[in-house]
Amino acid sequence: MSDAKAATNAHLAPYQARGLKGRIFSGVQPTGNLHLGNYLGAIRNFVALQDSYECIYCVVDLHAITVWQDPAELAKQTREIAAAYLAAGVDGSKHIVFNQSSVPAHAQLAWVFNCVARLGWLNRMTQFKEKAGKDRENVSTGLYAYPNLMAADILAYKATHVPVGEDQKQHLELTRDIAIKFNNDFGVPDFFPITEPLIFGEATRVMSLRDGTKKMSKSDPSDYSRIVLTDDADAIAQKIRKAKTDPLPMPDTVADAEKRPEADNLLGIYAALSDSSKEDIVSAFAGQQFSAFKSALTDLAVAKLGPMGAEMQRLMADPGHVDAVMRDGAARAHALAQPILDEVYRTVGFLRP
């Protein structure tokens, strides 16, 4: 067994003794309307993991300001993401739901990690390259150091598992590198766990409805590229009707689908929403016209997303409950993170006179 694996296992023992598989941490940025990719790639899995892990679900407002956010919008969207967690089925009394800036340990540990991570590691981050684009000289230094803060989010709780969509995989590899380097540099071999990513389901990378080669994203200028969780039935129907497809009938095999990005994307969405496999959906619709498939997909999406959107609106109309859940979550998160941060500070050699 590798050293990294042994270290992970050592951290699991206390959870296993409680009948749990470990501790989960994950987060979503409050930077725009939540879309189907966020739901199928992440939030849906947050809900599924609640029975077997201790879970900490965060709204990462510190990450959000790495690009400009209107302050009033940021506050509103922070609440909205927390409402989405609850509306999707996260149990905020059993698990922890809170916003990142309410727990100082995230920013404090991130500074230590700014001094552990190497420039060369961050230079390789593809998400930074994509987000910075050609205007690299003008982006915030926060955007560059973003993955270090993400490592701090996870390791402030010594989380053992992190459910995310596929686009976060490289950031989680960096988190592992930071944990290993910290443990080695300071001679504390088992201090931070070597976190495992949990990337699962039939829609780990949902693509734009307008272009099957581009990821569905909050920042795409076209509203028709994504279904958002608060879309009503008409909006969902219209977006699916207009979704780009190719001129051929529905594919016969998964291998055929995989050569046709738009068909593959819609089949993956259907499979994920119906809790089935892509194989099953391909065989159910093989050879049919896209119009029939799209109308079945619309019914499914409206049935699955409609009640969640309505619950989000209900929670947002009277935000007292969401705020109370976040306040209580922040207090519990702080109680978990502070002793870990204190130990990091002692390990690094910060004097507490």
Q: Which residues are catalytic?
A: 131, 215, 218
Burial of 13 (0-12, 13-18, 19+ CB in 10 A): exposed
What minimum distance in Å lies between the beta carbon of 349 and ligand TYM?
A: 27
Number of residues that bind ligand TYM (CB under 6 A): 25
Type of residue numbered 348: V
Residue closer to ligand TYM (CB basis): 7 or 150? 150
Q: Which residue is nearest to ligand TYM (CB)?
A: 41
Helical pair 320-348 and 105-114, crossing angle rounded to 10 deg: 40
Q: Of the candidates 117, 162, 179, 336, which one interacts with ligand TYM according to CB under 6 A?
A: 162
What minimum distance in Å lies between the beta carbon of 41 and ligand TYM?
A: 2
Instruction: Give me the phi and psi of 251, to 5 degrees please.
Output: -65, 155
Residue closer to ligand TYM (CB basis): 59 or 325? 59
CA distances from 102 to 97, 98, 306, 325 (A): 11, 8, 31, 13
Positions in 197-216 near ligand TYM (CB under 6 A): 204-206, 215-216
E strands in the chain: 23-28, 54-59, 96-99, 161-163, 196-198
Positions in 14-43 near ligand TYM (CB under 6 A): 25-29, 37-38, 41-42
Question: Is the CB of residue 271 less than 8 Å from the CB of residue 280?
Answer: yes
Residue closer to ligand TYM (CB basis): 55 or 325? 55
E strands in 109-208: 161-163, 196-198
Q: Is 174 in the site for ligand TYM (CB under 6 A)?
A: no
Per-residue interface string for the shown chain with ligand TYM, residues 117-156, x marking contact by CB under 6 A: ---------------------------------x--xx--
Structure tokens, 231: 């879309």
Burial of 123 (0-12, 13-18, 19+ CB in 10 A): exposed
Rounded Cα–Cα distance for residues 298 and 111 (Å): 46
What minimum distance in Å lies between the beta carbon of 154 and ligand TYM?
A: 5
What minimum distance in Å lies between the beta carbon of 327 and ligand TYM?
A: 20
Q: Which stretch binds ligand TYM (CB under 6 A): 136-144, 158-166, 247-255, 256-264?
A: 158-166
Residue closer to ligand TYM (CB basis): 65 or 162? 162
* Cα first-last separation, the chain: 42
In the complex, which residues of this chain contact ligand TYM (CB under 6 A)? 25-29, 37-38, 41-42, 60, 63, 150, 153-154, 162, 164-165, 167-168, 171, 204-206, 215-216
